[in-house]
């Protein structure tokens, strides 16, 4: 019988997991309850409980709020905040909290040790607003700003409250979450009747999507351009119009990097359109062109 000596083993109600047998019995009970969609087997429950114990949480809190994603422990921002507040060493105070950002000041033994700010611009740069949780970001921006500001601050200023384990919120690890940052139970979706088979993405739609993401070109502007052409997707356009859309996105990207519009267009025609016409891979060619435009000597190259 092996002893277990994780951090903070004392659980609400006086229950202590002292050895593997205790852990095994609790894990079996949790698995048989059927209440936890992401842990159906006792071994899965046991791993979650162990991970939670190392982070200082009891079995139930671990089952609800701790997730193991690609080998990384993930917990909700509310659990992180609770861990900071219960610490004898750390504390925090929110100094800004609105739809455009959240700032949290962190304290150690009553002294300010730093602050963590997460803004709408940060979310945009991270791709959060257009990701699988984009709807939640748009509907509950204040909650999501707090989650990211808290998780960053805990990693930066007080990682020792989790015994040095690097922790992430589920949303940071690309899980779908609700407005509180808790993972969304999608288990019922597997009980629905089979859906219609999704058709493969049309090559022209995929082409525009890849280049738009490479250039970080706003999706709304692509939709507006397509609407002006009276279509919904690039695949509904003639080849020459798709080429024109690609050119429009590329020149928009270069607008603040090349002073004269004619220089930007000439550079695009030479380094992108010309190379692609000779059989060059379009995405790779555009990447090379972007590096060329941003190089210190690009002005000389365009001269």
CA distances 104 to 26, 57, 82, 83, 129, Å, are 37, 23, 14, 15, 21
Pairing mode of beta strands 101-108, 66-69: unpaired
**What sign does the dihedral 46-52-55-58 (CA atoms) show?**
negative
Q: Phi/psi at 10 (nearest 5 deg)?
A: -70, 125
End-to-end CA, the chain: 77
Q: Which residues pair with 68 in a beta bridge?
A: 73
pLDDT reported for residue 286: 92
pLDDT reported for residue 13: 42
Tally the C-alpha atoms within 13 A of residue 106's C-alpha that lie toward its C-beta.
24
Residue count of the chain: 303
Mean pLDDT per 10-residue section of the chain, whose length is 303 residues: 48 61 83 78 82 74 73 75 88 94 95 94 86 83 90 88 69 65 50 51 88 90 92 91 93 87 88 90 90 70 49
pLDDT digits (tens, 9 = 90+) for 223-277: 999 999 999 999 999 999 999 999 999 999 998 888 787 888 999 999 999 998 9
pLDDT reported for residue 23: 81
pLDDT reported for residue 50: 80
Pairing mode of beta strands 72-75, 90-98: unpaired
CA distances 13 to 2, 30, 35, 288, 289, Å, are 23, 17, 21, 62, 64
| Cβ neighbours of 212 (radius 10 Å) | 18
Percentage of residues in the chain having pLDDT higher than 70: 79
pLDDT reported for residue 177: 67
């Amino acid at each position: 019988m092996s002893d277990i000596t994780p951090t903070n083993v004392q659980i609400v109600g006086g229950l202590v997991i002292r050895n593997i047998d205790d852990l095994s019995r609790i894990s079996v009970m949790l698995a048989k309850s059927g209440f936890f969609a992401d842990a159906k087997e006792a071994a899965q429950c046991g791993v979650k409980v162990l991970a939670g114990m190392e982070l200082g949480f009891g079995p139930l809190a671990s089952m609800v709020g701790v997730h193991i994603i690609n080998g990384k422990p993930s917990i909700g921002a509310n659990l992180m905040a609770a861990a900071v507040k219960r610490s004898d060493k750390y504390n925090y105070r929110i100094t800004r909290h609105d739809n455009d950002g959240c700032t949290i000041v962190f304290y150690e033994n009553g002294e300010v040790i730093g602050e963590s700010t997460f803004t709408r611009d940060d979310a945009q740069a991270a791709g959060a607003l257009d990701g699988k949780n984009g709807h939640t970001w748009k509907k509950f921006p204040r909650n999501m700003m707090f989650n990211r500001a808290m998780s960053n601050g805990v990693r930066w200023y007080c990682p020792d409250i989790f015994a040095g384990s690097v922790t992430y919120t589920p949303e940071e690890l690309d899980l779908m979450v609700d407005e509180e940052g808790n993972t969304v139970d999608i288990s019922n979706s597997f009980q629905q009747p089979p859906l219609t088979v999704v058709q493969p993405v049309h090559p022209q739609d995929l082409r525009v999507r890849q280049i738009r993401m490479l250039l970080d070109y706003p999706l709304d502007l692509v939709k507006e351009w397509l609407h002006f052409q009276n279509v919904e997707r690039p695949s509904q356009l003639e080849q020459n119009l798709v080429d024109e859309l690609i050119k429009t996105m590329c020149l928009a990207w270069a607008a603040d990097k090349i002073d004269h519009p004619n220089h930007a267009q000439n550079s695009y025609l030479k380094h992108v359109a010309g190379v692609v016409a000779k059989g060059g891979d379009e995405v790779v060619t555009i990447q090379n062109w972007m590096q060329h435009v941003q190089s210190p000597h690009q002005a000389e190259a365009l001269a």
